[in-house]
Structure 1
Amino acid sequence: MDLSKFRYPGEFEPQTDVFINWLPDYCEGPHGDGGRQVLVDVIRALMGHANVHVNCGCGTSLEACMARLASEGFDVMDPLVTGVRNVSAEESDGKFDPYIHFHKFDDWGVSIRDNGPNVMIDGEGNTVGVNPMWSNYSNNDKNEPAQQLARRSGVHMAVDLGVYDWVNTDMVSEGGNREFNGKGVMIAVEDTECRKRNPEYTKEQVEEEYKRIWNLKQIIWIPQPLVEDDDVRLGPIDKLEDGTLVWPASFAAHADEYCRFVGEDTILLTEVTEEEAASNPVDAENKRRIDAAYEILKNTVLPDDRPLNIIRIPSPKHMHCREKQEDPMVQGWKQFFDEIGGSAFDGTPWPEGDYCLLTSCSYGNFLICNDVVLTQKYWREGLDPAIREKDEQALAVFKQVFPDRTIIPIDSYELNLYGGGVHCWTKNVFIPQKSND
C-alpha cells in the first residue's frame, strides 16, 4: 500500500474518539477501586469533547463497570442502544455523541495507549491503520496467542470506526513510546524500541521499518526512559532509611512519561533540578537520562529546518507506596516474579516483608483532547505541602503552553500504581470526514 500521502497526526490536532480500558475485575482492593475512580474522572472530563469509548475486555465485567458509573451519577441506559448518557445532545452541540460507547473487545491489557488503534490520515478523508506486534512489554513471545489477542483488539477498535485498510509489521512497538509532531517526525526511546522490544533487529533496521509504516521523515531517538518507568525486572532502584528496597512500578519505559510534542516544533520536557539530583539516587539517574535527551533535542533540526522549542516542566515529588504481601496488587506482582523465577534480573529476590514501590508519577503523562488537556496532580489534604507546590508549578506550565484550552488536573495517583497514567490509559483517534470531491 502506498503510504506516501498519509501521516500520523499530532495529539495537539483535532480528535474525534478516545478509547479507555476499564480496570479489570481482578484488580481488587482499595487501589483497584481507586484506579477506577481515576477512570471515572477521566471519562467525565472527556464527555462532550470527543466520542468516548470504554472497553471491558478479558476479565472485566461490563455490568460492574456500568454499576460503578451509575453510582457516580451517570445516567446508565442500554449500552447496545444508547450507552451511558452524560450530556444532552444540545449540550454536545451535535459534534460528539452524548453517551459512552461500550465495547467487549477481547483484550487482557490495561494501558490502551500501547496496543490501541493506530490511525493515519491523508488530506482527502482517507484512513489507514498501522498494526505493530505486541509482546506484553517484552514479557512474552510476540507470537503467543495471548499476545496476538491483545494485538487484534486495537485493530478491532479501529475497524469499528470504519478503518479497513491496514499496514502490518513484524516489529513490536507501543503507543506510549511514540510521540508524533504531525509532520512526519517521531520521538521514541531508543533503549526501549531497539534493545528491549526488537533485539533481533539492528537500530538501522528498526528505523527503516518505522519510517516505512509511519511514513516518517525523521526519528528523534532519546536514549533511555525514566528510572521509575523502566522495566521492574531490572530490580530495585532505591532503598529507604529502614533498609526496605524500593521497586519501580512499571514495565513500560516510554517517552510519554517525560518528553512530549505539544506543537509541530515544541517539546514539553521534564526537568530534575541539581538539588533534587543530590537528594536521592533515582533523581540523580533521571537527571542524567533527561539531560542526555535534552542534548539531543536541543541540537535537533526538523526536516523544514526549524529547531525545537523546548519547554521544561517539573518532575513530581516522589511518592512511595508500602503494602503488605497480602495486598491484591502486591500479590499480582509476586505472581509475576514467581513466574520468572522469583527474582529480578540482578538476582534480587522478591521481598518477604513489606513491598515498597516508587509510583510512576509524572506531569508528562497528560492527554490533549481538542479544547481540554487532562493533566495529573498528586496533592491531597494531609500530604506534604511540597507536593502541592509541584502541582502548582506544573499547572502554571500547562497554562502557558495551552492558553486556549481548559486544563483539567486529575488526581491520578491510584492509577499510576498500575504503571500508567491518564495518557497511558487513553487512546485518541481522529477519523476525518471523507471528501465528496
Structure 2
Amino acid sequence: MLENYRHPGEFEPQSDVFMEWIPDAYQMKGYDNSQSCAEIVKALQEHGDVTLHINCGAEGVLDRAKASLLERGVRVEEIEFVQFKDPNFYVRDNGPTVVVDDRGGRILVNPNWSYYGTLPADDPYCVQSRIAAVQMGVSLGIFDVVNSDIVSEGGDREFNGQGVMMCIEDTEVRKRNPGLAKEQVEAEFKRLYNVEKVIWIPRPMLEDDDFRNGPLEYRDGVPYLGSSFAAHIDEMCRFVDANTILLAEVTDEEARASEVNAENKRRLDAAFDVLSKETDAQGNPFVIKRMPVPIAIDYVLTEDDENYGLYEGPIKEMGGSFADGTPWPGGDIHLIASTGYCNFLICNGVVIGQRYWREGMDVAIKEKDEAARAVLEECFPDRTVVMVDSLALNMTGGGVHCWTKNVAASGPVRDGA
C-alpha cells in the first residue's frame, strides 16, 4: 500500500498546520504561552500560506483561545477551530503524520503512542491521543490509515523527502520500544515511511532527555532538573533541504562552563561523527551546518504552582527517587528549561524560530538569539525568518516545532527538495 508513497521534507510545500491550545492549568506561573502561540499564528497567517487548525479539545478552551487571539490582533476568522479530544498538547508528537504520492494521494500513518514512554500504549490516555491523530487526518479528507504497533513521536522523526529518515536511537529503541531490536524498529520505519535509510543519532540533548533519569547538575549542592520527557531529534538536528543537515553545536568554552554543556558537547560530537560518515540515498555526503545552543535559562518551581505535580508525581510513582537513586528533593525545585534554536518550524514562505532574550536579561542571550537568526537566514535565503518568544512554551516542556504539526501538500518531489 505504501510502496508509491513518501514522507516529504518539511522544507517542501505544506497545506495545513495543526496547533493545540493548552489548557490554562498547564501554564507555568509567570509565563503566558498564549502570547507565544499568537506570535506563531501571526507568522503563519502572514507568510505560511496554509490552512491553520487550532484544536481546543479540553473543556472551556475554545472560547478562551478565541478571546486570547482576538486580544492579540489575530484574524480568527481565517482559523479552523476544531475540538478533538486530545490530552497531549504537543500535537507534533501524536498529530497527523501524512505520506504522499505523485498523483495527489495522501495516507495517514498512525504509530502507537505511550505518552513519551511513561504509560502503557493501551492506557486510555494514550489511546485517546492516538484517536485524535486519526480524527485530524479525517478532517483533511484523508481516510486511508496505516496503523503500527511501533511507538514513536513526530518530534523524533526528520525526513529529507528523498528516502532518508533521522531519529534518536536511545529514544526510539530503548525508551519507546524496549522489547524490540534496533533492526526491527528500523524495518518498521522503512515500511511505514518508504525510506531507504534510517540515520541513528545516538542520544538526545541532555536537558531534553527524560527528567526522571536524575538531576542534570548540582550548583552549590542544589540539584537542577530537566523539564522534558521527550528526547527528540528536533531539539538538535534538522534537515534544511534534502542534502543539508543543521546540527546544534556546543563550543569548547561553553563545555568548560557547565556539566550540562560538557555532556551536550559529547552527545553532539557523537552525532557529528555519525553524520559525517553518512550519505543520502544516492550516495552523496551531507552538508553539515552548525547552530549555536542557547544560554541556559532556569526556573524555580514552587510547591504552590499547579504544575508541581507534573514533576513530583512521576517520581512518586518510581518510589520517591529518580532512576539514578537521587531522592525527590522536596520544596522548591530548580528546572533547566529545554530551550533550543533547532526547534523551528519550516512552512512554505516562513521559518519560525525561537528567541529568549527579554528586557533585563543578560545581553549575551540576545547575542545568541541574533546568531541563531543569522544561521536560519543563511539556511533559508528565500524565506522570511520570524523569531518568536518561545520561553513560555519551553517552560512547559516543548517549543515552536513541538507545538505545531505541519501536513505536506500532495505531489511529486519539488525542485530544491
TM-score (norm 1): 0.91
- What is the rounded CA distance, in whole Å, between the counterparts of 2:338 and 2:361 in structure 1? 18
- What is the rounded CA distance, in whole Å, between the counterparts of 2:251 and 2:27 in structure 1? 37
- What is the rounded CA distance, in whole Å, between the counterparts of 2:119 and 2:411 in structure 1? 39
Structure 1 residues 300-339: aligned runs within 5 Å: 300-339=278-317
Secondary structure of 1:373's aligned partner? strand
Secondary structure of 2:194's aligned partner? coil
In 2, are the aligned partners of 1:314 and 1:393 still within 8 Å (CA)? yes
Alignment of 1:409 onto 2:407: no
In 2, are the aligned partners of 1:267 and 1:309 still within 8 Å (CA)? yes
In 2, are the aligned partners of 1:25 and 1:60 still within 8 Å (CA)? no
In 2, are the aligned partners of 1:59 and 1:108 still within 8 Å (CA)? no
Secondary structure of 2:189's aligned partner? helix
- Can you list the C-alpha shifts for 1:353-412, whole angstroms capped at 9, x where unaligned? 221111001000000010100000111111111111111111111111111110000110
In 2, are the aligned partners of 1:189 and 1:223 still within 8 Å (CA)? yes
Structure 2 gaps of 5+ residues are 413-417
- What is the rounded CA distance, in whole Å, between the counterparts of 2:298 and 2:10 in structure 1? 31
Aligned to 2:415: none
Secondary structure of 1:147's aligned partner? helix
Aligned match for 2:85, one of 95, 101, 106? 106
Aligned match for 2:145, one of 159, 166, 180? 166
In 2, are the aligned partners of 1:26 and 1:59 still within 8 Å (CA)? no
Seen in structure 2, the aligned counterparts of structure 1 residues 59 and 202 have a Cα distance that, compared at 3 Å, is: farther
- What is the rounded CA distance, in whole Å, between the counterparts of 1:72 and 1:188 in structure 2? 36
Alignment of 1:9 onto 2:35: no
- What is the rounded CA distance, in whole Å, between the counterparts of 1:339 and 1:35 in structure 2? 28
Shift of 1:70: 2.1
- Identity of counterpart residues, as a percentage? 48
Alignment of 1:43 onto 2:45: no
Aligned to 1:157: 136
Aligned match for 1:426, one of 390, 399, 404? 404
Paired AA for residue 289 in structure 1: R
In 1, are the aligned partners of 2:28 and 2:396 still within 8 Å (CA)? no
- What is the rounded CA distance, in whole Å, between the counterparts of 1:231 and 1:66 in structure 2? 33
- What is the rounded CA distance, in whole Å, between the counterparts of 1:29 and 1:174 in structure 2? 24
Aligned to 1:357: 335
Shift of 1:197: 0.2
Secondary structure of 1:270's aligned partner? strand
Aligned to 1:247: 225
In 2, are the aligned partners of 1:366 and 1:423 still within 8 Å (CA)? yes
- What is the rounded CA distance, in whole Å, between the counterparts of 2:345 and 2:74 in structure 1? 22
- What is the rounded CA distance, in whole Å, between the counterparts of 1:276 and 1:433 in structure 2? 44
Structure 1 gaps of 5+ residues are 76-83, 86-98
In 1, are the aligned partners of 2:155 and 2:232 still within 8 Å (CA)? yes
- What is the rounded CA distance, in whole Å, between the counterparts of 1:275 and 1:46 in structure 2? 37
In 2, are the aligned partners of 1:22 and 1:60 still within 8 Å (CA)? no
In 2, are the aligned partners of 1:218 and 1:303 still within 8 Å (CA)? yes
Aligned to 2:168: 189
Aligned to 2:324: 346
Structure 1 residues 126-137: aligned runs within 5 Å: 126-137=105-116
- Can you list the C-alpha shifts for 1:305-324, whole angstroms capped at 9, x where unaligned? 21100000100011111132
Shift of 1:28: 4.7
Shift of 1:331: 3.5
Task: Give the alignment's Cα RMSD to 1 decimal.
Answer: 1.5
Q: How many correspondences in the alignment?
A: 410
Seen in structure 2, the aligned counterparts of structure 1 residues 298 and 28 have a Cα distance that, compared at 3 Å, is: closer
Aligned to 1:52: 52
